[in-house]
Amino acid sequence: MALILNEMPPIAKCDVSKCGYNVNNGCHAKAITIGDGINPGCDTYFETKNHNRNIQRSAGVGACKVDACQNNQDFECMAASISVGLVNGQINCLTCVVKS
C-alpha cells in the first residue's frame, strides 16, 4: 500500500469520548475534516461503542471548510495544533477563531 505523508496540524486533545476514533482523549483517525462552511464541527465524528484499535496513530487536520476561521488558508488548517470538544452541545474545533 502506498502511503501519502502530509504535514497536518495534530489534534492535541479531543474531549468527545463517544467518538469511535477517541481513545483516552486522543484522536486516532488518520485525518479529520472540520466544518460545514460556517460551523467548525468535526465532520469525522461518529458515535459508537467500539473504538479505534490503532492507538499508535495520531490524527491531523486534513481539511477545514470554515473559510472564516483565521487559521484557515486555502481550506487547510494552519494552527500549530487543535483541540476538539463540545460547544453548546455541538462537537467543534475549539481552536477555531472567526475573523473579525
Contact assessment for residue 82 and residue 31, using Cβ atoms and an 8 Å cutoff: no
Quick one: pLDDT at residue 6? Answer: 81
Quick one: pLDDT at residue 2? Answer: 81
Quick one: pLDDT at residue 85? Answer: 98
Quick one: pLDDT at residue 4? Answer: 76
Quick one: pLDDT at residue 26? Answer: 95
- Please list, in sequence order, all residues whose beta carbon lies within 8 angstroms of the beta carbon of residue 17, skipping any fewer than 6 positions away: 25
Quick one: pLDDT at residue 72? Answer: 96
- Please list, in sequence order, all residues whose beta carbon lies within 8 angstroms of the beta carbon of residue 56, skipping any fewer than 6 positions away: none
Segment-wise mean pLDDT, segments of 10 residues, the chain, 100 residues: 84 96 95 94 95 90 96 96 96 93
Nearest to 82 by CA among 94, 98, 92: 94
